[in-house]
Amino acid sequence: MDSDMQDPPHVSFDLVKKWEEGYDVVYAQRRSRRDSILKRITANVFYRLLDKLADVDIPRNTGDFRLLDRRVVKQLNKFREHNRFLRGLVSYVGFKQTGVLFDRDKRLSGKTGYPLKRMVKFAIDGLLGFSWTPIRLITKLGYFISLLSFIGIIYAIAMKFLRPDVTVPGWTFIVISILFIGGIQLVTLGVLGNYIGRIYTESQNRPLYIIENVYRSNKSRKG
Give the rounded percent of residues in the chain with a pLDDT score beyond 70: 77
Tell whether 215 is covered by a domain.
Answer: no
Q: Which of the listed residues 130, 149, 182 is the one where a domain comes to its end? A: 130
Task: Count other C-beta atoms under 10 Å from residue 96's C-beta.
Answer: 14
Task: Count other C-beta atoms under 10 Å from residue 203's C-beta.
Answer: 10
Q: What does the pLDDT average to over 162-183?
A: 71
Measured distance between the N- and C-terminal CA atoms of the chain, rounded to whole angstroms? 55
- For residues 74 and 126, membership in a common domain is answered with yes
Q: Looking at residue 215, what is its pLDDT?
A: 73
Please state, rounded to an integer, the average pLDDT across all residues of the chain. Answer: 75
Interhelix angle 171-204/133-162, rounded to 10 degrees, is 160
pLDDT at 205 over 80: no
- For residues 107 and 191, membership in a common domain is answered with no
Per the structure, the count of domains in the chain is 2
- For residues 172 and 104, membership in a common domain is answered with no
Whole-model pTM?
A: 0.57
Tell whether 222 is covered by a domain.
Answer: no
Residue 28, beta-bridge partner list: 100
Q: Looking at residue 60, what is its pLDDT?
A: 76
Rg (CA), the chain: 26
pLDDT at 27 over 80: yes
Tallying the residues shown for the chain, one arrives at 223
Range of the domain at 15: 11-130
- For residues 85 and 26, membership in a common domain is answered with yes
- For residues 36 and 103, membership in a common domain is answered with yes
Q: Looking at residue 223, what is its pLDDT?
A: 42
Q: What does the pLDDT average to over 94-114?
A: 73
Strands 97-104, 62-68: pairing kind: unpaired
Q: What is the pLDDT of residues 181-202, one digit of tens each?
A: 877 787 787 788 777 777 766 6
For 42, 80, 110, 127, the CA distances from 83, given in Å and listed in that order, are 21, 9, 26, 12
